Amino acid sequence: MNIGNYQLRDREESFINLNPLQTGGRTTPDARKAIISYIDGYSICDWCKGALHITTEPDIAGFLIDVSDFLGMDYALPTNGCREAKYGVMHAISKGGSILCDANMHYSSEISAERAGLKVYKVPNNGEPEYKVNPLDYAEKIEDIKKETGSYPDLVLLTHVDGEYGNLVDPKQVGKICKDYSVPFLLNTAYSSGRMEIKGKKLGADFIACSGHKSWASGGGNIGILAISEEWEEKIFKGGTNWKSKPIEILGCSSRGSSLMAMMASFPYVKERVKRWDEEVKKARYLVEELTKIDINPLGESPKNHDLIKIDTPVYDKIARGHKKKGYFLYYELKDRGIIGMKPGRTKRFKISTYGLSWDQVKYVAESFLEIGGD
Ligand SMILES: *Cc1c(COP(=O)(O)O)cnc(C)c1O
């Protein structure tokens, strides 16, 4: 169906969607109702008390208390996505020095650091095929930075689960190293919180950045959370000079509408679903095991600890070379079977996610990939 020049979007309603960007953000029925009801501009400001995060009708203030509790932190603010949470921390902390990150970091972390005037250093990964980051390497790199620049980094960032390989890195070890060097620690949980349970302070994190539309079953736009430990409240959540109730780092009031309502509506469901994380990992491991029966090589850590699966697929690349639809054949073969979420044209290497699929769907996806590969 069209509205003007636009085609109405139809994905989750009619297909099995494997797009890793989208599986953890798939909305609940309650979120969809909340989004429509709060769709108009500044809808969330009907009962404004002076700032978004202290609003009690709807109960944003109460929600933020519950969320910081859920994340094992002390305070939380809504943000325009994970990137605004990261940028807010970097900007507040930056003394114009450096930031130590992992080599699998997201582009938005690097861009945020650049905007905050921080020079980026990276802990390398171990390359093909696993691309693993060793958390213990953070200590050596912190020393290297000190030698090179004369000071320790202003901030350390770890991508808990990266968006390229779906590798999970143990934050506890990085947290301990940061404590030893008295460097604040920002944990980027764009692909983890909302899917799996996270208790930030127990992991040694000072700051947690979350992505609602990626991992908390929230749509309706961009939404994120910045959660912090108590000792940082004054610095990170500081209000304006003449606008005390408006936190500077989120420009006073951040996400002002349906996306925040979607996150609030999905939250009871998210709190339950994180308890089923082990089952989600089993599904991903099962699919990888099935796919490697044909000429497909998994990339990233093995066995997997996350639903994001990156694979190298010579089997489809060979078929594409002799196919009249070329690289697009795979996209159409899958779509014919009711499966979408692949980048059209890709056959060499691609990413998929099993998150939130039923076991029947996972088995059907595995069978479909094998069948198309000629098994
Ligand atoms: C997707 C992603 C982000 C960006 O999240 P937004 O909420 O869209 O800003 C940040 N970090 C990682 C690791 C990601 O995968």
Ligand 1 pocket, mutate which of 21, 191, 306 (most atoms under 8 A from CB): 191
Band of the pLDDT at 2, cuts 50, 70, 90? confident
Please give the DSSP secondary-structure letter assigned to residue 240. Answer: P
DSSP characters over 30-97: HHHHHHHHT-STTGGGTT--SSGGG-TTTTHHHHHHHHHHHTT-SEEEEESHHHHHHHHHHHHH-SS-
Mean pLDDT, the chain, whole residue set: 97
Q: Are residues 232 and 201 in contact, defined by beta-carbon separation less than 8 angstroms? A: no
Could you tell me which of 140, 211, 148, 199 has the C-alpha nearest to residue 156? 140
Q: Are residues 205 and 175 in contact, defined by beta-carbon separation less than 8 angstroms? A: yes
Residue 375 confidence (pLDDT) above 80: no
**How many CB atoms within 10 Å of residue 59?**
12
Distance CA 278, CA 272 (A): 13
Can you tell me the mean pLDDT for 137-163? 98
> What is the maximal distance between C-alpha atoms in the chain?
68
How many Å lie between the centroid of ligand 1 and the Cα of residue 373?
32
Write out pLDDT tens, residues 311-351: 999 999 999 999 999 999 999 999 999 999 988 999 999 99
How many Å lie between the centroid of ligand 1 and the Cα of residue 191?
7
Write out pLDDT tens, residues 262-303: 999 999 999 999 999 999 999 999 999 999 999 999 999 999
DSSP characters over 123-192: EPB--TTT--B-TTHHHHHHHHHHHHHSS--SEEEEESB-TTT--B--HHHHHHHHHHHT--EEEE-TTT
Ligand 1 pocket, mutate which of 21, 82, 110, 187 (most atoms under 8 A from CB): 82
Q: What's the burial of 271, exposed, middle or buried (CB within 10 Å: 0-12/13-18/19+)?
A: middle
Closest C-alpha to ligand 1, atom 5 = 82
Question: Could you tell me what percentage of the chain is helix, strand and coil, using 3-state DSSP and rounding each to the nearest 5?
Answer: 45, 15, 40
Residue 127 confidence (pLDDT) above 90: yes
How many Å lie between the centroid of ligand 1 and the Cα of residue 80?
11
Q: Going along 212-342, which residue ranges are E strands?
A: 224-228, 297-299, 308-312, 339-340
Share above pLDDT 70 across residues of the chain, in percent, rounded to a whole number: 100
Could you tell me which of 295, 309, 310 has the C-alpha nearest to residue 374? 295
Can you tell me the mean pLDDT for 50-55? 96
Q: Report pLDDT for 229.
A: 98
Could you tell me which of 28, 3, 27, 15 has the C-alpha nearest to residue 340? 15
Q: Token pair for residue 211?
A: 């992505």
Pocket of ligand 1 (CB under 6 A): 81-83, 106, 108, 159, 162-163, 188, 190-191, 211, 214, 224
Q: Report pLDDT for 281.
A: 98
Closest C-alpha to ligand 1, atom 14 = 190
Can you tell me the mean pLDDT for 355-363? 98
Band of the pLDDT at 3, cuts 50, 70, 90? confident
Can you tell me the mean pLDDT for 120-129? 98
Domains present along the chain, CATH in parentheses = 29-273 (3.40.640.10), 276-372 (3.90.1150.10)
What is the DSSP pairing of strand 2-3 with strand 6-7?
Answer: antiparallel
Write out pLDDT tens, residues 21-51: 999 999 999 999 999 999 999 999 999 999 9
Q: Report pLDDT for 194.
A: 98
Q: Report pLDDT for 137.
A: 98
**How many CB atoms within 10 Å of residue 206?**
25
**If you count them, how many residues does the chain have?**
375
208 Cβ contact list (under 8 Å, min separation 6):
71, 73, 186, 187, 189, 193, 198, 200, 225, 226, 227, 228
Distance CA 27, CA 327 (A): 31
Q: What number does the ligand 1 atom closest to the CA of 223 have?
A: 7
How many Å lie between the centroid of ligand 1 and the Cα of residue 161?
10
How many Å lie between the centroid of ligand 1 and the Cα of residue 107?
8
How many Å lie between the centroid of ligand 1 and the Cα of residue 159?
10
Distance CA 184, CA 232 (A): 10
Band of the pLDDT at 1, cuts 50, 70, 90? confident
